[in-house]
């Protein structure tokens, strides 16, 4: 028998493809027909050497054939996430020796994301049968995750324990802290959310876009509020300054430890150079803090936060000097900054036109709730832009990170209905570039400059004050909080390490800095903070279009190979009875090498295919086995000849 259960769908696909036509036209059909097959059940590349240890489990095939068309269902989602989790072992070698027996009376502290990347911030505290979660953010895609919309935290540990989850604290409305809510909150039992008034309004608005996501239960909290969550866990809140109003920090109090999470924060200075909210931080420090989870984003930067007053002055200068239109881009949630921009425009007589729904919504909500004050006709719909002279216009748009679907990209590419770039426009980037987005932002600036715009960004002039405290401010806060242990969060290892060093400089014992990885578990008792050997799943869960988590490591790896090395389809027709090759194998490639100019190589591959099949005794041909053989040997052969490893897709047609 040639066919096995697994090869059936492949063969029928290829028959369909080749039935339609011959020659080169077949290639498109066959390639297209097989793309979905290869990424879901088959492992075309597993034999070519590169992927060795990652050869996926067979059970996946079974899952798919059993589920038929429902591959994109939630079960599949979970399956993929679990499998991915199985690959994940990330014990920091520095702590691996600190194995400790599980202490039932200890408080467990677990970061699920945000410690090996920028974004995807989420962590939880567990004490006996009570759990409280802090934040639920997304991470923007990386170059290594082609085609992915964004990445969300892994909640495989929390989902089965949903009955224990007493609450979800949201520190502020930035997407890297709240963006994953619509995707995840249902899976963990839709726990009560504790957050501030503005964050509540913004996340409720976004939740409306997700018809299948549950309605949120939100309790509004403010500076000084205390909430008892259960028998063991209590929360106390305090305000911090950041680039969105209503950002809040939290103290999670358990019988073993007071854990402070400071959200994202910076210090805000007034004209006299006095920082705000230090009294509140002192109050928190007096509670006796066991562990301080502290923002590390700017830990490597020296000095104090740039005063928002200075930013305001510089922006005003820039606005006044501009002759033509001003187009300004920032995040839709940089609401503090947006409020300042509107204020300056009112002062100098420019109207603000907002492009982008997320920004329009955020401004409207802030205005309604009183976080932003401006006259009704200061902010106008973009449709009315034609009624005003260029020097009376400021366009506020999203897309400062070069996102392909955002407002600024549409303006730059000429696809925007109301705004195109023209010579004399002043373009202002009033935000920092998220690490990883540098290239697309440069590309954007290039386009703008070619079209005649004058481009300003925060490297040239202080028109952006980061929302994250630099070294001197981080040290000020550590002094006030006086923690026993410091756990730097938010950022790559090197940023967190710098944050630890900053604290050691001002007297924190070096051995009390804890650099954890995502998914590691810390056990806290009154005097100790121990990273134990247990880990919880914390691997990437990727959101690709409407699918959540169904694009796993294997799919991403395939995309990477396709992008970097291309693919080769080998179509072989075999006599069902004799097992012999019936006609010359068809070879099609995409993104590999131009085969028409490589006839010799092509002929060699054909010979190789005949050789591989010829060696198998008649009657012992097995579809799967043969395909693996072809992948291995054709893959190796092409590598020897070209030093490339394209994805090999063997297709076997039996007649
Ligand atoms: Zn933030």
Report how far residue 57's alpha carbon sits from residue 119's, in angstroms, rounded to the nearest whole number. 30
What is the band of 99 on the pLDDT scale with cuts at 50, 70, 90? very low
What is the pLDDT averaged over residues 381-404? 90
What pTM was estimated for this model as a whole?
Answer: 0.71
Q: What is the DSSP letter of 423?
A: T
pLDDT for the residue 358 = 86
Looking at the structure, tell me whether residues 312 and 397 fall in a common domain.
Answer: yes
- Residue among 238, 248, 250 nearest 283 (CA): 238
Distance (Å) of CA 361 to CA 181, 327, 357, 367: 18, 19, 6, 10
pLDDT for the residue 194 = 98
pLDDT at 339 over 70: yes
pLDDT for the residue 495 = 94
Looking at the structure, tell me whether residues 288 and 315 fall in a common domain.
Answer: no
Report how far residue 422's alpha carbon sits from residue 431's, in angstroms, rounded to the nearest whole number. 23
Give the percent of the chain with pLDDT over 70.
79
Report how far residue 229's alpha carbon sits from residue 206's, in angstroms, rounded to the nearest whole number. 26
β-pair partners for 355? 397
What is the pLDDT averaged over residues 314-333? 92
Mapping DSSP to helix (H, G, I), strand (E, B) and coil, where does residue 72 land? helix
292 φ/ψ angles, rounded to the nearest 5 degrees: -115, 110
Looking at the structure, tell me whether residues 144 and 187 fall in a common domain.
Answer: yes
What positions carry a catalytic annotation?
Answer: 295, 468
pLDDT for the residue 513 = 97
Residue 134 in tokens: 């802090």
pLDDT at 631 over 90: no
pLDDT at 404 over 60: yes
Looking at the structure, tell me whether residues 253 and 296 fall in a common domain.
Answer: yes
With respect to residue 395, please indicate whether it lies within any of the assigned structural domains.
yes
What is the band of 98 on the pLDDT scale with cuts at 50, 70, 90? very low
pLDDT at 22 over 60: no
Looking at the structure, tell me whether residues 120 and 81 fall in a common domain.
Answer: no
Looking at the structure, tell me whether residues 134 and 277 fall in a common domain.
Answer: yes
Buried b / exposed e over 155-183, threshold 16 CB at 10 Å, is bbbbbeeeebbbbbbbbbbbbbbbbbbbb
Q: What is the DSSP letter of 143?
A: T
Burial class (CB in 10 A: 0-12, 13-18, 19+), 525: middle
Q: What is the DSSP letter of 120?
A: -
Report how far residue 613's alpha carbon sits from residue 574's, in angstroms, rounded to the nearest whole number. 9
Ligand 1: centre distance to CA 153 (Å): 17
Residue 511 in tokens: 């051995």
Give the percent of the chain with pLDDT over 90.
50
What is the pLDDT averaged over residues 333-355? 93
pLDDT at 81 over 50: no
pLDDT in tens, 349-378: 999 999 988 889 999 999 999 999 999 999
Contact 275, 476 (CB under 8 A): yes
Residue 375 in tokens: 């006259």
Report how far residue 505's alpha carbon sits from residue 441's, in angstroms, rounded to the nearest whole number. 36
Residue 212 in tokens: 């299948």
Mapping DSSP to helix (H, G, I), strand (E, B) and coil, where does residue 331 land? coil
Ligand 1: centre distance to CA 516 (Å): 21
Ligand 1: centre distance to CA 334 (Å): 9
Ligand 1: centre distance to CA 172 (Å): 7
Residues with CB under 5 A from ligand 1 (ion): 174, 264
Ligand 1: centre distance to CA 430 (Å): 15
Looking at the structure, tell me whether residues 388 and 506 fall in a common domain.
Answer: no
- Residue among 625, 623, 624, 570 nearest 592 (CA): 570
User: What is the number of structural domains in the chain?
Assistant: 3
Query: Which range is most confident: 35-39, 197-201, 314-318, 587-591?
Result: 197-201
Given 515, 538, 561, the domain boundary residue is 538
Residue 42 in tokens: 């088959």
β-pair partners for 428? 328, 456
Looking at the structure, tell me whether residues 471 and 406 fall in a common domain.
Answer: no
pLDDT for the residue 578 = 78
Residue 92 in tokens: 């920091």
pLDDT for the residue 588 = 85
Looking at the structure, tell me whether residues 295 and 312 fall in a common domain.
Answer: no
**Candidate from 62-66, 234-238, 570-574, 599-603 with smallest mean pLDDT:** 62-66
Given 511, 538, 565, the domain boundary residue is 538
**Candidate from 199-213, 227-241, 406-420, 637-651 with smallest mean pLDDT:** 637-651
Question: The dihedral of CA 471, 473, 479, 482: what is its sign?
Answer: negative
What is the band of 83 on the pLDDT scale with cuts at 50, 70, 90? very low
Residue 591 is part of a domain; what is its CATH number? Answer: 3.10.20.580
**Candidate from 58-62, 104-108, 510-514, 634-638 with smallest mean pLDDT:** 58-62
With respect to residue 543, please indicate whether it lies within any of the assigned structural domains.
no
pLDDT for the residue 282 = 96
Residue 338 in tokens: 């947006």
What is the band of 143 on the pLDDT scale with cuts at 50, 70, 90? low
HSE of 169 in the Cβ direction (CA atoms, 13 Å)? Answer: 31
Report how far residue 582's alpha carbon sits from residue 574's, in angstroms, rounded to the nearest whole number. 5
Contact 267, 273 (CB under 8 A): no
What is the pLDDT averaged over residues 444-462? 83
Q: What is the mean pLDDT of the chain?
A: 80
pLDDT for the residue 551 = 59
Looking at the structure, tell me whether residues 151 and 183 fall in a common domain.
Answer: yes
What is the pLDDT averaged over residues 1-6? 36
Torsion of CA 483, 484, 487, 493, to 10 degrees: 110
278 φ/ψ angles, rounded to the nearest 5 degrees: -65, -30
Question: The dihedral of CA 20, 24, 29, 35: what is its sign?
Answer: positive
Mapping DSSP to helix (H, G, I), strand (E, B) and coil, where does residue 271 land? coil
Report how far residue 564's alpha carbon sits from residue 169's, in angstroms, rounded to the nearest whole number. 42
Given 432, 456, 480, the domain boundary residue is 456
Q: Which residue range forms the structural domain that includes residue 617?
A: 5-86+549-654
pLDDT in tens, 572-594: 888 877 778 888 888 888 888 77
Question: The dihedral of CA 287, 292, 296, 297: what is its sign?
Answer: negative
Ligand 1: centre distance to CA 187 (Å): 25
Looking at the structure, tell me whether residues 251 and 229 fall in a common domain.
Answer: yes
Ligand 1: centre distance to CA 202 (Å): 14
Residue 115 in tokens: 């410690």
Residue 645 in tokens: 């490893």
pLDDT at 165 over 80: yes
- Residue among 507, 504, 479, 652 nearest 581 (CA): 652
Looking at the structure, tell me whether residues 312 and 299 fall in a common domain.
Answer: no
Residue 429 is part of a domain; what is its CATH number? Answer: 3.40.50.10710
- Residue among 293, 221, 234 nearest 263 (CA): 293
């Amino acid at each position: 028998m040639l066919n096995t259960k697994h090869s059936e769908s492949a063969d029928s696909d290829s028959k369909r493809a080749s039935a339609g036509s011959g020659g080169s036209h077949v290639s498109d059909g066959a390639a297209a027909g097989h793309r979905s097959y290869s990424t879901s059940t088959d492992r075309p590349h597993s034999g070519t050497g590169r992927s060795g240890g990652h050869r996926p489990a067979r059970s996946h095939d079974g899952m798919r054939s059993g589920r038929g068309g429902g591959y994109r269902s939630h079960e599949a989602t979970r399956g993929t996430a679990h499998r991915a989790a199985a690959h994940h072992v990330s014990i920091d070698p520095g702590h691996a020796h600190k194995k400790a027996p599980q202490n039932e009376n200890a408080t467990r502290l677990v970061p699920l994301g945000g410690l090996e990347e920028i974004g995807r911030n989420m962590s939880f505290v567990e004490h006996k049968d009570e759990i409280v979660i802090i934040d639920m953010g997304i991470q923007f895609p990386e170059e290594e995750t082609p085609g992915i919309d964004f990445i969300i935290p892994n909640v495989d540990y929390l989902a089965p324990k949903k009955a224990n989850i007493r609450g979800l604290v949201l520190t502020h409305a930035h997407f890297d802290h709240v963006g994953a809510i619509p995707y995840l909150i249902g899976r963990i039992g839709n726990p009560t959310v504790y957050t501030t008034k503005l964050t509540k309004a913004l996340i409720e608005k976004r939740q409306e876009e997700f018809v299948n996501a549950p309605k949120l239960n939100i309790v509004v909290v403010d500076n000084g509020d205390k909430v008892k969550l259960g028998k063991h866990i209590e929360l106390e809140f305090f305000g911090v300054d950041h680039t969105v109003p209503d950002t809040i920090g939290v103290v999670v109090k358990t019988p073993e430890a007071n854990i402070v999470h400071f959200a994202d924060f910076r210090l805000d200075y007034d004209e006299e150079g006095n920082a705000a909210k230090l009294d509140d931080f002192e109050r928190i420090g007096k509670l006796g803090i066991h562990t301080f989870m502290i923002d590390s984003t700017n830990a490597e930067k020296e000095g104090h936060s740039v005063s928002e007053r200075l930013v305001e002055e510089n922006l005003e200068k820039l606005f006044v000097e501009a002759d033509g239109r001003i187009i300004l881009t920032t995040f839709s949630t940089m609401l503090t900054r947006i409020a300042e921009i509107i204020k300056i425009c009112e002062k100098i007589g420019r109207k603000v036109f907002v492009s982008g729904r997320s920004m329009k919504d955020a401004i409207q909500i802030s205005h309604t709730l009183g976080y932003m004050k401006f006259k009704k006709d200061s902010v106008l719909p973009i449709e009315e832009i034609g009624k005003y002279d260029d020097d009376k216009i400021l366009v506020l748009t999203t897309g400062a990170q070069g996102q392909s679907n955002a407002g600024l990209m549409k303006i730059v590419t000429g696809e925007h209905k109301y705004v195109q770039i023209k010579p004399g426009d002043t373009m202002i980037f009033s935000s920092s570039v998220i690490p990883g987005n540098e290239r697309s932002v440069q590309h954007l600036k290039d386009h703008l400059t070619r079209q005649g715009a004058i481009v300003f960004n925060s490297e040239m002039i202080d028109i952006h004050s980061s929302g994250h405290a630099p070294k001197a401010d981080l040290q000020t806060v550590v002094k006030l909080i006086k923690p026993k242990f410091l756990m730097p969060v938010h950022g790559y290892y090197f940023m967190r390490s710098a944050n630890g060093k900053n604290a050691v400089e001002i007297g924190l014992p070096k051995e009390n800095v804890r650099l954890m990885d995502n998914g590691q578990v810390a056990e806290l008792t009154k005097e100790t903070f121990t990273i134990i050997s247990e880990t919880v799943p914390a691997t990437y869960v990727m959101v690709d279009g409407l699918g959540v988590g169904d694009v796993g490591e294997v799919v991403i790896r395939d995309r990477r190979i396709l992008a970097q090395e291309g693919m080769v389809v080998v179509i072989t027709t075999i006599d069902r009875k004799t097992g012999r090759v019936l006609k010359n194998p068809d070879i099609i490639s995409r993104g590999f090498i131009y085969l028409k100019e490589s006839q010799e190589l092509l002929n060699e591959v054909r010979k190789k295919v005949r050789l591989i099949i010829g060696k198998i005794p008649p009657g012992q041909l097995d579809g799967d086995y043969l395909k693996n053989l072809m992948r291995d040997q054709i893959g190796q052969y092409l590598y020897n000849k070209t030093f490339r490893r394209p994805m090999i897709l063997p297709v076997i047609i039996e007649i």
